[in-house]
Amino acid sequence: MESTMNLSPGALAGLRVIEMGQLIAGPFVGKTLGEFGADVIKIEPPGAGDPLRNWRLIQDGTSVWWQVQSRNKRSIALDLRQREGQDIARRLIAQADVLVENFRPGTLEGWGLGWEELRRLNPGLVMLRISGYGQTGPYRDLPGFGAIGEAMGGLRHLTGEPGRVPVRCGISIGDTLAALHGTIGVLTALYHRKVNGGQGQVIDVALTEAVLNVMESLIPEYSAFGAVREPAGSALPGIAPSNAYRCTDGVVLVAGNGDSIFKRLMQAIGRDDLGNDPALADNAGRVARVAEIDAAIEDWTRPRSVDTVLATLGAAKVPTGRVYTAKDIVEDPHFRAREMVLTQRTRDGHDVAVPGIVPKLMGTPGQVRTSAPHVGDDTDAVLGEIGFSSQDIAALRGRKVVA
């Protein structure tokens, strides 16, 4: 594992981002923009800071998740509930390119930081707002976490086994999907600002809608045929064969659903009778007999080890893979060669393995330039950049406006 920690500029160098969000969706946007060179200033409440600092496994009082989510950011501890804190936020936003926030709709307006006021301060501001249901509509004021977005967006209904209670995928995928859509929105708005007279705009991302947007054919199938797609375990309904198959020592995933791939797969497992069957030459025919095909594949995989199956099907150029754990990922030579497992030194002096950066840009690659900050590490520096003297900052600190 290697570290790419250095001071090289990135594609977004010179872009200033104010991050007001907490936990997952908003901060993931800041993380992504920061990896490509943006100056991301994270506003945290004095004291405990972002609640993510205390989520899951803790090292020296801080979640190791924090080390990924907040690298390449500067932290300013600012109490936005106080009028002076709101005034400082306005001064920061007046000099920023992007504001990212994922509070419940109406929260910023209650602090005097709504869009209409901010656009008067900074007409070029790009404001990303991520919430459970969006800034409009009958549900806008309801609390909405990623899990609810996954449920209402249609994803949860499809996870798990038929007839069982739906399961979550094990991570907060709804939040991350919203963040990725938000990042796309920010970059799109910045391009528009550049070519259309410098005007900013609001980007409104709802967790529910971000999930719905990746649900493939779910809605048109219902519209055209009245078909309500149901959970199917590890299979991919309507596309065959694509499933998980048991081996002597684990499970393999096999995606043999291309026409030519299917023929190679059947040849590799000694089932040329199926591979050469004209009725199975296309996907529609295979879907009609998917149970028969799945049984034939598992009859072949079940007495064999995972390694044997992977080697045999890999030689036949059939997409196949094992189910990776965290240990498998960290030890995998391909992930390491692609710098997708990096070593990052925390500010408390620990080396921790973290995911690398996606996507890979050839000319201006994303990088880890700084480790995740402690609460308020950069308060003095950031306030100094917008005109506060050391005496001013000390007075603000005494009034508990900043920390």
Domain ranges of the chain: 16-214+331-398, 242-246+251-322
Looking only at the bridges linking them, the beta strands covering 98-101 and 16-19 are parallel
Looking only at the bridges linking them, the beta strands covering 201-206 and 126-131 are parallel
Residues 216-245: tens digit of each pLDDT: 999 999 999 999 999 998 988 899 999 999
Return d(Cα 3, Cα 9) in angstroms, integer: 16
Angle (CA) 163-167-171 rounded to 5° is 165
Q: Which two tokens stand for residue 362?
A: 């050839």
- The pLDDT value given to residue 6: 52
Average pLDDT over residues 157-176: 92
User: 402 versus 21: which is more confidently predicted?
Assistant: 402
CA distances from 220 to 9, 18, 110, 236, 237 (A): 44, 39, 40, 17, 15
Query: Does the pLDDT of residue 284 top 80, yes or no?
Result: yes
Q: Could you tell me the pLDDT band of residue 7, with boundaries at 50, 70 and 90?
A: low
What would you report as the CA-atom Rg of the chain, rounded to the nearest whole angstrom?
25
Residues 292-346: tens digit of each pLDDT: 999 999 999 999 999 999 999 999 999 999 999 999 999 999 999 999 999 999 9
In degrees and rounded to multiples of 5, residue 39 shows phi and psi of -85, 105
Look up residue 259 and give its amino acid. D
> Where on the phi/psi map is residue 78: left (φ > 0), alpha (ψ -120 to 50), or beta?
beta
Look at the pTM and tell me if it is higher than 0.75: yes
CATH superfamily of 242-246+251-322: formyl-coa transferase, domain 3 (3.30.1540.10)
What percent of the chain is predicted at pLDDT more than 90? 93
Query: Does the pLDDT of residue 394 top 90, yes or no?
Result: yes
Helices 25-35 and 173-195: crossing angle in degrees, nearest 10, is 50
In degrees and rounded to multiples of 5, residue 286 shows phi and psi of -70, -40
258, 255, 148, 252: which is closest to 206 by C-alpha?
148
- The pLDDT value given to residue 4: 45
Residues tagged active-site: 175
Give Cα 359 to chain centroid, integer Å.
Answer: 12
Q: Judging by beta carbons within 10 Å of its beta carbon (0-12, 13-18, 19+), is residue 282 exposed, middle or buried?
A: exposed
Contact 127, 115 (CB under 8 A): yes
DSSP assignment letter at 51 = G
196, 200, 205, 204: which is closest to 96 by C-alpha?
200
CATH assignment of 16-214+331-398, given 3.40.50.920, 3.60.20.10, 3.40.50.10540, 1.20.59.10?
Answer: 3.40.50.10540
In degrees and rounded to multiples of 5, residue 40 shows phi and psi of -100, 115
Residues 358-390: tens digit of each pLDDT: 999 999 999 999 999 999 999 999 999 999 999
- The pLDDT value given to residue 300: 98
